[in-house]
Amino acid sequence: MTSQIIYKGELRTEATHHKSKTIIETDAPTDNEGKGEKFSPTDLLATSLGTCMMTLMGIKARDLGISLNGTSIEVTKIMKANPRRVGGIKIEIDFPKSLYINEKEKSILEHTALHCPVAKSIHPDIEQDIHFNWPLHSV
C-alpha cells in the first residue's frame, strides 16, 4: 500500500503515506466549491512534476559531483473546462547564481528532468512547458 486517504468533510481529505506516516491534507479549490486553503488534488499533480524533476536532477547531480542546493522551482497549473481538467503545467527551474557547470552537464540534467517518471506518466494532452534558468556564467 502506498497511502491511505480519509475524507474529513467539507471537501477536504487527509492522505497518510504508508511507510513514513507523513500526512498531506487537500482542499477543493475556490473555483470548485472549496476554500482553497490547502493543496488541491490537481495542485498535487502539477507539483509532483516539479518535485520529480528536482529529485531526479538531484540524483544525477550527486553522481556528477554537483550541488544543486538552493535550486528552486515555480509550478503553475493551467486548468481547462469541459471537462474540467489540468490542461497544462508550467515549470520554471531557477538554479543558484553560485552554480558553475558546463554545457554537457546542463544537457545531462535537463534530459534527466524531462524524462522523470511523472513527466512520462502525465497524459500527452497535458502540455508541459519547462524552462531551465541557468546562471549566465559558464565554465
Class of domain 41-139: alpha beta
Euclidean distance between CA atoms 55 and 61, whole angstroms: 10
- Of residues 42, 107, 102, the one with CA closest to residue 75: 42
Note the pTM of the prediction, 2 decimals.
0.93
Tens-place pLDDT, residues 64-107: 999 999 999 999 999 999 999 999 999 999 999 999 999 999 99
E strands in 10-84? 12-17, 23-27, 72-80
Q: Please give the distance of CA 48 from its chain centroid, rounded to a whole number.
A: 4
> Is residue 137 scored above 80 in pLDDT?
no
Looking at this protein, which amino acid is placed at residue 138? Answer: S
Cell of 14: 487527509
**Contact in structure between 11 and 28 (CB atoms under 8 Å):** yes
Question: Is the preceding peptide bond at 83 cis, omega within 30 degrees of 0?
Answer: yes
For residue 139, name the pLDDT band (cuts at 50, 70, 90): low
How many CA atoms, within 13 angstroms, populate the side-chain half-sphere of residue 113? 24
Euclidean distance between CA atoms 70 and 129, whole angstroms: 22
